[in-house]
Amino acid sequence: EKVLNYVSDQKITFDEGWVTFNVTEPFIQWVSFPHNNLGLYLRIRAHTIERDIDPQEIGIIGTNGPKDRQPFTIAFFKSRGSGGRVRKVRQVSRKRQRSDVSFYDHDEWNPYL
């Protein structure tokens, strides 16, 4: 059973421009439980109309619109540690020189090495 969780409610005018929503809580849930990610559902209502409004009816552009007007997400990631991720530097591996002659020494054979 799919359950939608309320995220935000905004009253806007019919101006042109970006509309912003704080979707921090859904993102936290998606990172913690990716198999439960249902995406975002946008419901648009007008107080003068008794039905939901299709986003395209009021000019909201989806993924099929011009690239410079498509919806996007900006995220700020806060580290749980003191300084974020620290990369460890690996030592450079040195290639062993191979001799032209190889031999097998029965006395130095160790099956556990």
| 44 — pLDDT class (breaks 50, 70, 90) | confident
Which residue ranges make up each domain of the chain?
A: 1-78
Q: Is the pLDDT of residue 96 over 80?
A: no
* pTM exceeds cut of 0.75: no
Q: What is the per-residue pLDDT for 95?
A: 58
Tokens describing residue 72: 């996007």
Predicted confidence (pLDDT) per residue in 56-93, tens digit: 888 788 777 888 877 778 777 676 665 555 566 666 66
CA 31, CA 39: separation in Å to the nearest integer?
Answer: 12
Which residues have CB under 8 Å from 22's CB, separation 6+? 7, 8
Predicted confidence (pLDDT) per residue in 3-23, tens digit: 788 888 888 776 777 788 888
